[in-house]
C-alpha cells in the first residue's frame, strides 16, 4: 500500500466527535472529490470519485451520519491506465435534504436571483479551530496525495476551481504550512514541499501514525547521508596522502637520476630511501622507521626539503 493510501486509511479510522467538525470534513470531501449531477426529473445527486476504498467508506459513513443520504458505490477497474481501480460514490436523497446539504458544503449558494453554484470555501463552516482542522482532514481525503517519503517530500491537493485552491492555500497557511498553488493540466493544485511542514500538517489532521513513519524515514535518510559524507571525507584524505607520496617519490627519483642524491645530507637521504621503500606509509610511520626515529613534523620537514631541492634542480635545467 502506498504511503498516501495508508495515511488515508489511518484518517478514515479516526473518530470525529463534534457535529460541527463532521460537517466541515464532509464539506471539504465533497468540494474536492465531488461533482454535482442532474438526473431525471431534475433530481440532484453528488458523485464523489476516489482511488481509495478507505475514502469511499468514509464518505458513505459521513453522509449517512449527517444527512441520512443514500449511497451507491461503483467500482471501476482501469488496469490499462496503470491505476488499479477507482470508486464512484453516488449520494442522493430527498430534494430538500440534497439542497440543504449542497448549500451547507458550499457547492450551491443562495443569492437574490436564486441558487447559484458556489466556487470557494464556505466560511460559515470554519469559525472554530477544530472545524478548520477537520476541513483540512476532509480536503486530504478528497483531493490530497502524499509521496512516499523514501522518494521525496511532497503533499498536494488537486482542487476543482482556482478560487477554492486559493481558499485552501490560505487556510493551510493560517497554520504556517507555506503551501503554494500551481496550475497543472487545467487543474488547480495546492502543494507543500518542506518535510517539516508536511509533518505539521499530519499532526494537524491527527494522522500520527503517518507522521511517525515519515519522521523515521527522514531520520534514517539523514543517518545514511551522514555516513556517506564521512566515508567521502575519509576517501578524500586517503587520496591526498597517496597523491603526496607519489609526488615525493617522483621528486626523489629525479634527484637520483640526476646524480644529486649523493650530495644530500645523511638525514635527507635516509628519509628519501624510506619513502621509496614504503610508498604507502604515513609520515608518522616513516618517522618511526628512521634511525634515529623522528616525529611526523620532522619527516614532513625533510620530505618538503627534498621536494624543494628537486624543484630548484628542475628549474635550473629548465624542465
Nearest to Zn ion of 128, 222 (CB atom): 128
Residue 285, interface with Zn ion (CB under 5 A)?
no
Residue 197 near residue 178, CB atoms below 8 Å: yes
Q: Minimum Å distance from CB 210 to Zn ion? A: 22
Q: Minimum Å distance from CB 127 to Zn ion? A: 8
Q: Choose which of 1, 2, 17, 18 interacts with Zn ion (CB under 5 A).
A: 18
Residues 33-72 that bind Zn ion (CB under 5 A): none
Residues 164-193 that bind Zn ion (CB under 5 A): none
Binding range to Zn ion, per CB under 5 A, among 21-29, 115-123, 184-192, 223-231:
21-29
Q: Minimum Å distance from CB 136 to Zn ion? A: 12
Q: Choose which of 5, 6, 14, 20 interacts with Zn ion (CB under 5 A).
A: 20
Q: Choose which of 11, 12, 16, 21 interacts with Zn ion (CB under 5 A).
A: 21
Residue 104 DSSP code:
H
Nearest to Zn ion of 16, 188 (CB atom): 16
Question: With helix as H, strand as E and coil as C, how does 181-227 read?
Answer: EEEECCEEEEEECCHHHHHHHHHHCCCHHHHHHHHHHHHHHHHHHHH
CA-closest candidate to residue 214, choices 4, 11, 9, 54: 4
Q: Minimum Å distance from CB 140 to Zn ion? A: 17
CA-closest candidate to residue 99, choices 179, 140, 45: 45
Nearest to Zn ion of 20, 313 (CB atom): 20
Residues 96-135 that bind Zn ion (CB under 5 A): 128, 130-131
Beta bridge partners of 144: 157
CA distance 94 to 84: 34
Cα→Cα distances 279→178, 243, 252, 259, 271, Å? 57, 10, 12, 22, 12
Q: Which three cell numbers stand for residue 217?
A: 524515514
List residues binding Zn ion (CB under 5 A).
18, 20-21, 128, 130-131
Amino acid at each position: 500500500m502506498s504511503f498516501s493510501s495508508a495515511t488515508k486509511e489511518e484518517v478514515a479510522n479516526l473518530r470525529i466527535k463534534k457535529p460541527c467538525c463532521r460537517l466541515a470534513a464532509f464539506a471539504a470531501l465533497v468540494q474536492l472529490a465531488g461533482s454535482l449531477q442532474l438526473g431525471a426529473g431534475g433530481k440532484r445527486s453528488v458523485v464523489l470519485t476516489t482511488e481509495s476504498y478507505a475514502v469511499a467508506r468514509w464518505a458513505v459513513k459521513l453522509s449517512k451520519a449527517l444527512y441520512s443520504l443514500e449511497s451507491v458505490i461503483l467500482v471501476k477497474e482501469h488496469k490499462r491506465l496503470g491505476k488499479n481501480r477507482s470508486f464512484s460514490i453516488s449520494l442522493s436523497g430527498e430534494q430538500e435534504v440534497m439542497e440543504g446539504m449542497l448549500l451547507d458544503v458550499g457547492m450551491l449558494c443562495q443569492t437574490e436571483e436564486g441558487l447559484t453554484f458556489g466556487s470557494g470555501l464556505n466560511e460559515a463552516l470554519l469559525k472554530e479551530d477544530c472545524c478548520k482542522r477537520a476541513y483540512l482532514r476532509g480536503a486530504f481525503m478528497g483531493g490530497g496525495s502524499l509521496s512516499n517519503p523514501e522518494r521525496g517530500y511532497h503533499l498536494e491537493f488537486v482542487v476543482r476551481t482556482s478560487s477554492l485552491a486559493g481558499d485552501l492555500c490560505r487556510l493551510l497557511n493560517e497554520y504556517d504550512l507555506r503551501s503554494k498553488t500551481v496550475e497543472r493540466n487545467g487543474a488547480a493544485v495546492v502543494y507543500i514541499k518542506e518535510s517539516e511542514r508536511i509533518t505539521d500538517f499530519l499532526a494537524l489532521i491527527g494522522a500520527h501514525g503517518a507522521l511517525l513513519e515519515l519522521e523515521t524515514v527522514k531520520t534514517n535518510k539523514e543517518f545514511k547521508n551522514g555516513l556517506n559524507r564521512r566515508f567521502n571525507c575519509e576517501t578524500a584524505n586517503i587520496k591526498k596522502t597517496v597523491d603526496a607520496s607519489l609526488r615525493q617519490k617522483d621528486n626523489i627519483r629525479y634527484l637520483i637520476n640526476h646524480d644529486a642524491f649523493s650530495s644530500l645530507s645523511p638525514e635527507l637521504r635516509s628519509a628519501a630511501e624510506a619513502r621509496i621503500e614504503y610508498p604507502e606509509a604515513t609520515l608518522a610511520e616513516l618517522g618511526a622507521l628512521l634511525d634515529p626515529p623522528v616525529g611526523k613534523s620532522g619527516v614532513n620537514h625533510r620530505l618538503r626539503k627534498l621536494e624543494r631541492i628537486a624543484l630548484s634542480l628542475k628549474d635550473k635545467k629548465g624542465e
